[in-house]
């Protein structure tokens, strides 16, 4: 089978490997579509150290081709999506349903080999059946959606809440959509590219704000009777947007730090946070339960994943796909690769 290898920063090649055979509790998945996100591009560019060579990628869907002897819940031919977060299954956090913060957590494509290949064996606990109307490319986007579902669960948005979402990349757009589904009003989508703001409107944002032409903090205040938003979701991941998010959070409100900056904040005004009694939440990845809920959510057809797919490449063009995703960030929501 063909697989993609990251041999060093920005050095991608495809190589041949043997098809793995599933152990007793595993299923062999023929990968039909994968998607690459900001995390993958960051790893590609060398921003996150990994052991080379590494098979990149963690967003994938496919079809089960073989099941291990202890697998009974799945059959050959089942269309599935893969949960790429592996954990120990034994520690206190794992057994209390907080496996996303297990100390032994491994992400496929980062600490262990990823999904950019034709076949992959995964534990049966890490696949979920795809609803029949969902394509494989959309199925690959269930993983990022599940991280948004997890964050929204921690944010506990109510119909009386106002929400501002800073950044309208794929995750930001999904936050905008899910905030609307929670009944919030107004939901304010903030971004820099007009085409992404148009998509935010399509996702039913009540207002969109162009950070390229307006001061987002002043505009959010204006749209919320000078109060700020009850919930602010920072989905960019820069110190500057984090500061803006803090400034547009209503006193007593919740700030969800979703787009994590790898650079430390130059300063954090603790007095400002204290005076506001601001609640700061750092959601991490997702749990199996969030993944299960995500599958049910897309089965209800209330979330459009199709419009998040902006480019498609064949797996053997992975080098071009990563180069494009890195250099043309403003044109990309999700790049899909098909084996």
- 105 close to 87: Cβ distance less than 8 angstroms: yes
Nearer to Zn ion, 94 or 309 (CB): 94
Nearer to Zn ion, 102 or 245 (CB): 102
Min CB(85)–Zn ion separation in Å: 11
Nearest to 186 by CA among 152, 203, 222, 161: 161
> For this structure, is 133 an active site residue?
no
Instruction: Provide CB contacts within 8 A for 283, sequence distance 6+.
Output: 147, 150, 151, 154, 256, 258
- Name the segment binding Zn ion (CB under 5 A); options: 31-39, 188-196, 286-294, 305-313: 31-39
Distance of CA 151 to CAs 20, 30, 255, 258, 284, Å?
34, 30, 11, 7, 8
Tell me: does residue 209 bind Zn ion (CB under 5 A).
no
Min CB(41)–Zn ion separation in Å: 10
- 318 close to 14: Cβ distance less than 8 angstroms: yes
Distance of CA 95 to CAs 173, 175, 255, 339, Å?
32, 28, 28, 36
**Coil, helix or strand at residue 312:** strand
- Name the segment binding Zn ion (CB under 5 A); options: 37-45, 166-174, 186-194, 321-329: 37-45
Nearer to Zn ion, 35 or 190 (CB): 35
- Name the segment binding Zn ion (CB under 5 A); options: 38-46, 118-126, 228-236, 240-248: 38-46
Residues in contact with Zn ion, total (CB under 5 A)?
7
Tell which positions 43-102 bind Zn ion, by CB under 5 A: 87-88, 91, 94, 102
> For this structure, is 39 an active site residue?
yes
- 245 close to 166: Cβ distance less than 8 angstroms: yes
In the list 4, 12, 37, 295, the residue contacting Zn ion (rule: CB under 5 A) is: 37
Nearest to 223 by CA among 243, 201, 205, 198: 205
Nearer to Zn ion, 17 or 91 (CB): 91
Min CB(45)–Zn ion separation in Å: 15
Binding map of Zn ion across residues 99-128, x = CB under 5 A, - = no contact: ---x--------------------------
Provide the 8-state DSSP code for 117.
B
**Coil, helix or strand at residue 329:** helix
Q: Which of 42, 112, 238, 310 is catalytic?
A: 42
Token pair for residue 278? 């601001």
CA dist., res. 283 & res. 148, Å (int): 9
* β partners of residue 33: 61
Provide the 8-state DSSP code for 291.
H
- Name the segment binding Zn ion (CB under 5 A); options: 13-21, 30-38, 246-254, 306-314: 30-38
Min CB(107)–Zn ion separation in Å: 9
Min CB(248)–Zn ion separation in Å: 26
User: Active-site residue numbers?
Assistant: 39, 42
Which residues of the chain form contacts with Zn ion (CB under 5 A)?
Answer: 37, 39, 87-88, 91, 94, 102
């Amino acid at each position: 089978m063909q697989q993609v290898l990251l041999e060093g920063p920005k050095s991608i090649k495809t190589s041949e490997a043997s098809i793995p055979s599933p152990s007793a509790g595993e299923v062999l998945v023929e990968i039909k579509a994968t998607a690459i996100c900001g995390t993958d591009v960051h790893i590609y560019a060398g921003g996150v150290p990994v052991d080379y060579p590494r098979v990149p990628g963690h967003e994938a869907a496919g079809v089960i081709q073989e099941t291990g002897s202890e697998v009974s819940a799945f059959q050959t031919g089942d269309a599935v999506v893969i949960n790429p977060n592996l954990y120990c299954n034994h520690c206190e956090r794992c057994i209390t349903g907080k496996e996303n913060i297990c100390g032994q957590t491994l992400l496929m494509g980062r600490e262990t080999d990823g999904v950019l290949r034709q076949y992959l064996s995964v534990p049966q606990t890490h696949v979920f059946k795809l609803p029949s109307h969902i394509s494989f490319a959309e199925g690959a986007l269930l993983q990022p959606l599940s991280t948004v579902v997890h964050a929204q669960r921690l944010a506990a948005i109510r119909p009386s809440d106002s929400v501002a979402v800073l950044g309208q990349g794929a995750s930001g757009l999904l936050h905008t959509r899910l905030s609307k589904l929670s009944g919030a009003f107004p939901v304010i989508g903030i971004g820099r590219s007009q085409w992404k703001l148009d998509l935010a409107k399509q996702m039913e944002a009540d207002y969109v704000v162009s950070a390229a032409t307006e001061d987002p903090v002043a505009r959010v205040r204006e749209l919320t009777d000078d109060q700020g938003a009850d919930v602010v979701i920072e989905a960019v991941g820069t110190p500057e947007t984090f500061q803006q998010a803090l400034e547009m959070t209503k006193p007593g409100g919740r700030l969800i730090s979703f787009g994590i900056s790898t650079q430390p904040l130059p300063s954090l005004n603790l007095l400002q946070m204290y005076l506001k009694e601001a609640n700061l939440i750092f959601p991490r990845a997702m749990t199996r339960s969030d993944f299960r809920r995500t599958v049910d959510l897309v089965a209800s057809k209330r979330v459009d994943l199709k419009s998040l797919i902006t480019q498609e490449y064949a797996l053997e063009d992975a080098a071009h796909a990563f180069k494009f995703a890195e250099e043309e960030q403003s044109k990309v929501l999700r790049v899909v690769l098909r084996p």
